[in-house]
Structure 1
């Protein structure tokens, strides 16, 4: 029940910040934690419980799942800017069209010079066709290093997930899954 409550809160917050590039990185990370990380953590913990794991193993696998979920979602926010539509199965312009402030865009807002800081809200909020908006945002993300910063964060979360597996038996595939979640192209 707790997970469902967190997910609903995350969905509500995500709706509230739609179109708001001033919401800040911590807010978007809270959305990711409430939605993806909480669900993934609960699923991993449920698997541990069903397998008869110890309470310590249950908690370690919940924390593993939460970090895995964060790595997965951070990479998901990068995909519209780093992978081809045919590979990802979603359109590159979806975040722009939905006015969803993705993590890389917020990193760019923090690092941008004045001209780009002024340009991002104009492009993001509409008045520009989604293809042109996506191209312009991608240029800013590249200039500011936001794509690299977000990718590093995804890998860091994957590393934290792998660290939670220390001492757990038969966890090689889970460790590989964490790595793959931060490095995926779809």
Structure 2
């Protein structure tokens, strides 16, 4: 399953795109009143362009390739939780980072995902321009589609620099979002178990 890729581009066009991104950073420095030719900024356009490509690399990743066959048939129907997954993403409104923890749970029907693939799946969607609400939903819906479990629960707790460094400037604010699908939405007991296990210290 392909995950919202950018349109395919040839090598030559990719090279032009890279130069264009660096030039855009250079123009931004000029607009800010800086001198991009001074020593400390000479390589800044190149560094920023490289950084942005890494932080948005999820656009070019394929979920099927990320899972890489790590979906297994197992006779197990209890909850699987991978919690405290570090996430880093960019707010699409201000291009400022938000970061925190992601907790993912599902109750299998017939298949499970290799544990290390869950954080990789989170990164596919976190490494894009995002809002936290959509990121939470995308992770849950992708797992639901990939292995058809009885249900999926995802919780993200994150700090947003667009709220800390600017705007309302609230240093201790934390945004919490959740997506509950299947049995996690329909069964109070399952949802309560997930929330309890997330709160417990490892």
Whose Rg is larger?
2
Q: Which has the higher strand share?
A: 2
Q: TM-score, normalised by structure 1?
A: 0.29
TM-score, scaled to structure 2: 0.27
- Higher RCO (CA 8 Å, separation ≥ 6 residues): 1
Higher helix proportion: 1
